[in-house]
Amino acid sequence: MRNLLSIIFLFGAFLALFAAVLTFKIKHGNRKANRLLSLFCVTTAVFLTRVMLLSSDLYTHFPLLTELFDNIRYFWGPALYFYIKTLANPDLRFKKKDVIHLLPVMLNIAAKSEVYFSPVEYQVQYITDWLYVSPVHPAMILDGLSRILFFLCFSLYIIVSIRFHRKFKNDILQSSPFGKIYLSWIRIFTYSLLPASVIWASSVILVLAGYPFYYFFFGLGLFVSFLVFFFVLKILTQPEILFMAKPLKFVKKYHASYLTDQEAEHVLEKIKYLMEQDQIYLDPDLNLSALAAKLSIPKNYLSQIINEKTGSSFTDFVNHYRIEKVKTWLHDPDRRDKSILTLAFEVGFNSKASFNNSFKKYTGESPVAYRRIRSIKNIRT
């Protein structure tokens, strides 16, 4: 069981490190926010690595490293807070007074300084007693106080971050056509951290009841690991999260809209995927509003992207796919017995006139002439 837990923790650490590198290397959107998210991911990776060292008993070989890794958790709160703050204001500048956010980790280092400079044997015994015996041992009073301080600070950072993103909700919504996606991601990201605080608080009851600390610690490690799995999956399925645009007064506008060129290209790729893979053009009720709703962007942005990126109107863009499909079906022996009008309705056209006009526009021939000429060529070959 312990080996399985160690594998989960190690895999979670690897995914968190992967997410850290990914977010750090993104050069578009809000780079400052992405780098703060990268810091959060690095913190998570180091935390899970420490949990893995403890669960696998590898800490007996690296006791000092295991204890030094304990300090990294204090960067969770500031990274979260400044990440949310920078999303609302990418022009945010760090001030000298922000150094106060490093005070908790400095206090923890001071509280553990005796352990850091002790012999290896003492360090191993210290960690073993902390994990398996009782963290309320008199020799660990300072460690206990530092953990209470961490719990209070981390909970405060979460609460302030939630209040901050609520306060600037409209700014985030208006920052981009993807504003709803961004706001949804921020909500999920912040609220999903609340259970971690609950687990941390419940550990006090378990410890006072005489339970070893490792029950809580490994439980927290599992929760964080699954959070990492979920967050990475979320980022991979909605990569626009990493390309969050800057609010209106900071962003370089894409012509008359608030859409950046990077976002426009990304939307166009999604549109082409829906057309080519899902073949949504076969739906006769497909219109600009329906496709915009499917992509979660305003229809005026969608219209602009299609107009400026393809040089076509929405109707012409969709009809092009429909005509190409009809042309393919006209060569299909299995559909030879079907009338051209039937095929037109099957690809999404609502009238014979619109189909004939579109077909002639793209091929230079009427549908009847096109089928007749292709049939003659097929007979000759």
For residue range 19-54, list pLDDT tens digits in order.
Answer: 899 888 877 667 888 889 999 999 999 999 999 999
pLDDT category at 253 given cuts 50, 70, 90 is very low
Residue ranges in 281-339 assigned as alpha helix (H):
288-295, 299-310, 314-330
DSSP-based three-state secondary structure for 290: helix
Euclidean distance between CA atoms 69 and 166, whole angstroms:
33
pTM over 0.85: no
What is the arithmetic mean of pLDDT over 191-218?
Answer: 76
Euclidean distance between CA atoms 273 and 280, whole angstroms:
10
How far is C-alpha 181 from the geometric centre of its chain's CA atoms?
A: 10
Look at 331 and 174; give whichever has higher pLDDT.
331
What is the arithmetic mean of pLDDT over 349-357?
Answer: 90
Look at 142 and 371; give whichever has higher pLDDT.
371
Euclidean distance between CA atoms 231 and 235, whole angstroms:
6
Angle at 299 between CA 295 and CA 302, to 5 degrees: 65
pLDDT category at 233 given cuts 50, 70, 90 is confident
Q: Is the pLDDT of residue 381 over 70?
A: no
Q: Is the pLDDT of residue 340 over 60?
A: yes
Is 20 exposed, middle or buried, given 0-12, 13-18 or 19+ CB atoms closer than 10 A? buried
**Residues 173, 179: contact at Cβ < 8 Å?**
yes
Max avg pLDDT among 15-24, 26-35, 167-176, 195-204: 15-24
Q: Is the pLDDT of residue 378 over 60?
A: no
162-170's contacts with Cβ under 8 Å and 24+ in sequence apart are: 162/190, 162/191, 164/81, 164/84, 164/85, 164/88, 165/84, 165/87, 165/88, 165/190, 168/88, 168/89
pLDDT category at 155 given cuts 50, 70, 90 is confident
For residue range 77-100, list pLDDT tens digits in order.
Answer: 999 989 888 877 777 788 888 899
What tokens does 344 get?
Answer: 């037109």
**Residues 142, 174: contact at Cβ < 8 Å?**
no
